[in-house]
Chain A
Amino acid sequence: MHIVDRRLNPSGKNLANRQRFMRRAKSQIRKAVHESTAKGSIKDADDGGEVVLPAQGVHEPQFRRSSNGGLRDHLLPGNKEYVAGDTIPRPRGGEGGGGSEGSPDGEGEDDFRFALSRDEFVDLFLEDLELPDLAKRKVASAEAVTWHRAGYSVTGSPANLALNRTVRNSLSRRIALKRPKPEELEALREEIAALGNDPDDDRRRVELEAELARKERRSGLIPYIDPLDVRYKRFDPIPRPVAQAVMFCLMDVSGSMTEHMKDLAKRFYILLYIFLKRRYKNVDVVFIRHTHEAAEVDEDTFFNSPETGGTVVSTALEEMAKVIGERYDPDLWNIYAAQASDGDNTASDNDRTAGLLTHDILPLCQYYAYLEVGRDAEHFPPGFIRRDSDLWQTYTGLIKNGAPMAMRKVGHRRDIYPVFRELFAKKTGAEVDA
């Protein structure tokens, strides 16, 4: 008999089959992925996980007997009460005596459920999308410096003292210069102390004391640690692309924003989060909600807690600028912002909003997306021409002047993904559609 240990074989033997399967079911998997992100929190969406495909799509047909009609016979174990010739009312839905034949008859196949890895998930999700202006910014300013250890130097601050190296240098110098060891001196002293009063001993004492004096002097002359020995850890600055991003979610939570609108906004934020996560190791999310005043809040409050008040957009922008100033140095962080609103703004605030954006926010941001969420389009009678909202008009003006921002209107959740794709599709500039 042979025993073979196969555990050491390379794993992932099935990878090729899996890829074929993924390719085969791509459109369905993509759809399932989008559906699965509709539920759950923003950050959860990035963990990949289980998707459910309708069984029909990856179905493998066979000639099978249908599960109804005709004459069937069943052989069943566990008879308790029946005798030959009994009749049994036909059970409903295959429960009990009939119908539960062992063979996989009928439409028994459930929906197909399987787990995607995080990478597969995100790949499918973000096919053909690209972060806007990422390359350009990288060259211009998306660089930071990190310090890396790079050998030793003879100068430096005491905090960087390389103790091991220093002591090692000291030791080799002491050996080379034959500095007497403390033990040797100690031994000499003990020997002197142990001597008696013989003439021999006296003579010996003189010799030893001379020896001791010589060694002590030498020991004094050659220091235990010399400035020559001292070494410091050396650090070199290495330029490094910034690999972290912060995403600002700004949302109007005033009374005019319905749950439906918030839901639309949430979906958009989820997409943006996943997208950023794909590019940056480290993504922070900052939630800023505003009515006529703005505050940074946690995710749950952001989406779920109701608030009343007027609508002053500039407060949110101020808050954002404040948070950036406090925590997110634009040299170290790529800053993305997504604003969702129904478009209302206090009329007197529009100029201030435009000013804040142009001067304080946009210069710091990698990308600024404005999403105008509306009611379902069906609510408007045909031919009804909707006046552009305050914010829409304001932002249109900004974009005309070449500001790095994009805006879209969304009325239904099915529009979210197309709009998102549109915003980030490869080689699309930040132009406005009419």
Chain B
Amino acid sequence: MSISIKSDRLLFDNADWDFSTIQRINDAVEEIAIKELGLNVYPNQIEVISTEQMLDAYSSIGMPLFYKHWSFGKQFARNEALYRAGMQGLAYEIVINSNPVISYIMEENTATMQTLVIAHAAFGHNHFFKNNYVFKQWTDADGILDYLEFARDYVMKCEDQYGASEVERLLDAAHALMSHGIHKYPRRRTTDLRTEEKRERERREHDERVFNDLWRTVPGNDSLRHDPSALERRRALLELPQENILYFLEKTAPRLQAWQRELLRIVRIIAQYFYPQTQTKVMNEGCATYTHYQIMNRLHEKGQISDGSLMEFLRSHTNVVFQPEFDDPRYSGFNPYALGFAMMKDIERICNEPTEEDREWFGAIAGCRDHMNVLRDVWANYRDESFILQYLSPRLTRHFGLFHVTDDAEDPHLKVEAIHDERGYRAIKRALARHYDPAYFTPDIQVVDVNLAGDRKLIVQHRATNRILLEEKDARMVLQHIADLWGYDVVMTEVDPATEAVLKDHKAQARPGIVPLETA
């Protein structure tokens, strides 16, 4: 019994760890996360993995199991080469939005890093996954792993039955359209019989209530009311315009076989699963970073990690939230960790020590002294776009020295529209928020019409926001994929949404391969 009281309280006293250390760390972190920060998390599963397995996970978008495709092999080869050359470090962790939440931690991490990773992933991200409305709305954490397993087996079965190259060709085409295989808005759910019946009853009651025989005597154009134009009917039937191109092809492409439709569906569903991640990058990382920062500091205050560990943690934390300025050679856009963390800390400050400016801008939360409550509410009810629009404070705008530059190709100069001053705060906030709106950062491409009566030509339209056209070579290749799936000609027009003027035309003819073509 020669151990001092101090070291008794420490979770670990050097860089080494074993499974009992991990368990102790987890318990200590959980204590703070649940009791002090009030987080609400899925059960955790922590998996220790090696470098190769981390590279593996990288190549399959972080998922533990995935169907086979050459592009994942390409990813793996690329990451491996970069990693071996020392040009790229590996992430400390990967976390999967499933129930239980699976966090991968690397075997090479020190005990301090494992603590950081557990706080960050197993509690920070976990809380976000479970509570944020976008994730609730779009992802099924309980079912994803089962679905991936189904997908893997299904793809394998198809490869056996129809040949690996057939499957590969289809998946190539589907992957090219993955970014346009997403429903951006929740669709109407198909109603079941009971609601159907209830609605029918309601409709009848309504008709009875408002029945007036006089209406019959009013002269009117019956055909206009009951027989919309052929175009309208067709569009309604095909659910056009449709921005989910994969969905449209899966449901409507005339010549695809059932298994091909199923594969399109698999790619589409997986794309949809990742959709929340793309629109909550800043918040998700901000939430996780804020959580680990609070927890690590609390652990240190409680004497559970040593000064040395705290220094080690701060070092890597500082690297993570580093934001180079625009004229720094290291600058490559906004660091979501930096922005997210700074905004979370800023909210904490506004709640606890507001300035006059904060009271004016954030009257509802300024000085409320319960920042965890505010943050939990933010984490649950916002996505990046709305979060920035709501909570980017003037103080933070000044802190980052944010300014807004517009670049019109028709103008020889760039123009500074707004800077971090009284006149610019709102403009900058709006402009930055728009950058995080998926409707803004993915090109707006929709299937608008099909020539059903004639040559079955598919008509796709790109509404070129700000007259920014598609990258031509890629666009042509993707369009070719659409044509191959559709089985007939496809045209795409790029129009300026402001004037409806056609800026550019693309055409693609179906090639044989995925579907058999009609011989002319």
Contact = CB atoms under 8 A, between A and B. Distances in A.
Given A71-B408, A88-B416, A14 B423 contact: no
A77 B402 contact: yes
Contact of B47 (A6, A73, A101): A6
Interface in B421-448: 421, 423-424, 428, 431-432, 435, 441-443, 445
Contact of B327 (A20, A60, A89, A96): A96
B416 A17 contact: no
A82 interface: yes
Interface string A43-76: 0000000100000001111111111111111111
B407 interface: yes
B73 A77 contact: no
A224 interface: no
A85 B416 CA distance: 5
A107 B55 CA distance: 25
Given A78-B326, A114-B80, A7 B50 contact: yes
Contact of A2 (B45, B400, B428, B442): B45
A102 B326 contact: no
B23 interface: yes
A252 B164 CA distance: 51
Interface stretch (A21-29, A146-154, A168-176, A347-355): A21-29
Interface string B500-514: 000000000000000
Given A66-B472, A71-B409, A74-B407, A87 B416 contact: yes
B44 A1 contact: yes
B474 A61 contact: yes
Interface in B273-309: none
B158 interface: no
Q: How large is the interface on A (under 10, 10 to 19, 20 to 34, 35 or more residues)?
A: 35 or more
With a 10 A CB-CB cut-off, give which of A65, A72, A97, A106 has the most chain B CB atoms. Answer: A65
A4 B48 contact: yes
A84 B413 contact: no
A17 B80 contact: no
Contacts of B369: none
B426 to A, nearest CB: 13
A2 B176 contact: no
Nearest to A61: B477
A69 B496 CA distance: 13
Contacts of B179: 62-63
A3 B22 contact: yes
Contacts of B86: none
B69 A17 contact: yes
A69 B81 contact: no
Contact of B73 (A11, A22, A99): A22
B80 to A, nearest CB: 7
A400 interface: no
Contact of A71 (B81, B403, B466): B466
Nearest to B406: A73
Interface in A117-172: none
A71 B411 CA distance: 9
B466 A76 contact: no
A70 B73 contact: no
Contact of A17 (B68, B324, B326, B468): B68
B478 A61 contact: yes
B47 A4 contact: yes
A114 B478 contact: no
Interface in B100-118: 100, 104, 107
Contacts of A305: none
B248 interface: no
A178 to B, nearest CB: 57
Given A61-B176, A78-B325, A103-B441, A84 B418 contact: yes
Interface stretch (B252-260, B262-270, B328-336): B328-336
Given A3-B22, A76-B326, A113-B81, A88 B74 contact: no
A278 B21 CA distance: 49
B175 interface: yes
B91 interface: no
A252 B324 CA distance: 61
Nearest to A102: B333
Contact of B78 (A1, A19, A75, A112): A112
A401 interface: no
Nearest to A116: B77
Contact of B100 (A2, A6, A89): A2
A115 interface: yes
A377 interface: no
Contacts of B435: 75
B423 to A, nearest CB: 7
Contacts of B424: 84
Contacts of A2: 44-46, 100
Interface string B38-72: 00000111111110110110010000000011111
Given A87-B413, A100-B332, A115-B77, A20 B68 contact: yes
B312 interface: no
A76 B326 CA distance: 6
A379 interface: no
Interface in B339-377: none
A194 interface: no
Contacts of A87: 413-416
A84 B421 contact: yes
A114 B46 contact: no
B45 A4 contact: yes
Contacts of A427: none
B180 interface: yes
A16 interface: yes
B419 A66 contact: no
Contact of A66 (B72, B84, B412, B471): B471
Contacts of A63: 179-180, 442-443, 445, 462, 470, 474-475, 478
B107 A64 contact: no
Nearest to B82: A113
A21 B59 CA distance: 12
A90 B178 CA distance: 34
A71 B84 CA distance: 40
Given A87-B415, A97-B326, A20 B403 contact: no
Contact of A7 (B53, B462, B481): B53
A390 B118 CA distance: 78
A79 B26 contact: no
Contact of B443 (A19, A64, A113): A64
B56 A79 contact: no
Contact of A76 (B59, B405, B470): B405
B405 A5 contact: no
Nearest to B23: A3
B445 A19 contact: no
Interface string B166-198: 001000100110111000000000000000000
B415 A86 contact: yes
Contact of B402 (A7, A11, A75, A90): A75
A284 B49 CA distance: 42
Contacts of B56: 13-14
B464 interface: yes
A62 B474 contact: yes
B419 A78 contact: no
Contacts of B100: 2
Given A64-B443, A103-B441, A71 B467 contact: yes
26 contacts: A1-B43, A3-B46, A4-B46, A6-B50, A14-B76, A18-B73, A21-B74, A24-B168, A25-B74, A59-B477, A62-B178, A63-B445, A66-B471, A70-B408, A71-B467, A71-B468, A75-B435, A79-B420, A82-B416, A96-B326, A99-B407, A101-B333, A102-B333, A106-B471, A113-B78, A115-B80
Given A17-B70, A21-B74, A76-B402, 14 more contacts: A6-B53, A11-B50, A21-B71, A60-B71, A60-B175, A71-B468, A72-B468, A74-B406, A77-B325, A77-B334, A85-B415, A89-B413, A101-B333, A114-B77
Instruction: Enumerate the 10 nearest inter-chain pairs by beta-carbon distance, A residue then B residue, closest first.
Output: A102-B333, A78-B325, A21-B73, A17-B73, A70-B468, A114-B77, A76-B326, A61-B477, A20-B70, A87-B413
